[in-house]
Amino acid sequence: MSTDTTNGAVIFERIDTWRTILKDQFDFIRRDNLALVGVIIVATFVFLGLFGPMLAPHNPIEHDMKTEEGSIMRLSSPNAKAPLGTTAYGKDILSQFLAGARPTLIVGLFGGLGTGAIGFLVGLVSGYYGGGVDEVLMRLTDLTFSLPFMPMALLLLTFVTPNIWLITLIIAGFLWKMPARVVRSEVLSVRERTFVKSARASGASNLRTMFFHVAPNVLPIGFLYTAYGVAWSIAAQASLAFLGFGDPTMTSWGRMLRMVFDSGNIRIAWWWVFPPALGIAAITTSVFLIGRAYEEVINPEIEIES
């Protein structure tokens, strides 16, 4: 690390290093087949989340599929009219699958961003200031660790009608603890480096040092955990929906799985199970594969939770 004395130069150097890191990772992703496949799947998923509901041939909840004779087409395997078959209630599975991508994307994206942002800020402030601030913030983190997420989320969702924004909020409110600890331990080591000390010595304020000198160096980990946060949020949302605590007004992949499981049709209706199940599995796995590729580059203290 160089010890430039002028602030501006230091910042530019930080940004430059950071840019190099990003570029390295980009090249790395291109070289890493797994991550590349992951990126393609994530891109497809984002596309589905944005345009899926428009692409759906029928309304996923309102529309009843009819057979030639005009009766409701129940539990039909894939056919010309319904390429992915129909549910026990005569709904088109392809439409449900396409429409169901949106809530899954919304919760995943915002849950991940919320998780990453809150965790990053808490970890940054906690690690940088140390002492009492650190103690308070870390005990708060401990507390979120000791409140079991799933039961608490179920309880909270029993006295308010679940909607996706609320679910997103609950998820982010519980998951920020993951990045917080990792970012904090990174900050602790960055804080001791020469360029940070010289910034402080040359009279930069605490806030300035924290955001301009320390933060850029731990940003990659913030991104990594934001990505993981996306996967965790999708998994958590799907799990809640599967238990019957999803947004009742929207079709989501998790809710489709609840419907098929509750109606006792997983024994026969494979066409009803596999689209949402594989959709969720593909997206969460992809995010993690991309994350792994990054991790090889950043190599933070690897700490895995689910």
Site residues for another protein per CB under 8 A: 34, 134-135, 138-139, 142-143, 145-152, 154-156, 158-159, 181-182, 184-185, 231, 235, 238-239, 242-244, 257, 261, 266-268, 270, 273, 277, 280-281, 284-285, 287-289, 292, 301-304, 306
**86: which strand partners?**
92
Return the amino acid letter for 121. Answer: L
**Residue (195 or 229) nearer to another protein, CB:** 229
**Residue (56 or 227) nearer to another protein, CB:** 227
**Residue (208 or 292) nearer to another protein, CB:** 292
Q: Minimum distance between the CB of residue 238 and another protein, rounded to whole angstroms?
A: 5
Q: Minimum distance between the CB of residue 121 and another protein, rounded to whole angstroms?
A: 17
Q: Minimum distance between the CB of residue 246 and another protein, rounded to whole angstroms?
A: 13
**Residue (195 or 272) nearer to another protein, CB:** 272
Q: Which residue, among 125, 144, 178, has the nearest Cα to 303 in the 3D structure?
A: 178
Q: Minimum distance between the CB of residue 15 and another protein, rounded to whole angstroms?
A: 29
Return the amino acid letter for 211. Answer: F
Q: Minimum distance between the CB of residue 145 and another protein, rounded to whole angstroms?
A: 6
Q: Which two tokens stand for residue 251?
A: 């079709």
Please list, in sequence order, all residues whose beta carbon lies within 8 angstroms of the beta carbon of residue 65, skipping any fewer than 6 positions away.
Answer: 58, 72, 73, 76, 81, 82, 86, 90, 91, 92
Measure the CA–CA gap between 280 and 286, rounded to whole angstroms: 10
Q: Minimum distance between the CB of residue 51 and another protein, rounded to whole angstroms?
A: 24
**92: which strand partners?**
86
Q: Minimum distance between the CB of residue 116 and another protein, rounded to whole angstroms?
A: 17
Asked whether 120 and 224 are in contact (CB, 8 A), the reply is no
What values do phi and psi take at 176, rounded to 5?
A: -60, -20
Asked whether 167 and 105 are in contact (CB, 8 A), the reply is no
Q: Minimum distance between the CB of residue 232 and another protein, rounded to whole angstroms?
A: 9
Q: Which residue, among 68, 135, 63, 140, has the nearest Cα to 96 in the 3D structure?
A: 63
Please list, in sequence order, all residues whose beta carbon lies within 8 angstroms of the beta carbon of residue 266, skipping any fewer than 6 positions away.
Answer: 260, 273
**Residue (65 or 231) nearer to another protein, CB:** 231
Asked whether 127 and 212 are in contact (CB, 8 A), the reply is no
Phi-psi region of 115 (alpha: psi -120 to 50; beta: other; left: phi over 0): alpha
Q: Minimum distance between the CB of residue 28 and another protein, rounded to whole angstroms?
A: 15
**Residue (141 or 198) nearer to another protein, CB:** 141
Residue 158's Cβ-count burial label (10 Å; 0-12, 13-18, 19+) is exposed
Return the amino acid letter for 134. Answer: D
**Residue (2 or 306) nearer to another protein, CB:** 306
**Residue (70 or 151) nearer to another protein, CB:** 151
**Residue (72 or 147) nearer to another protein, CB:** 147
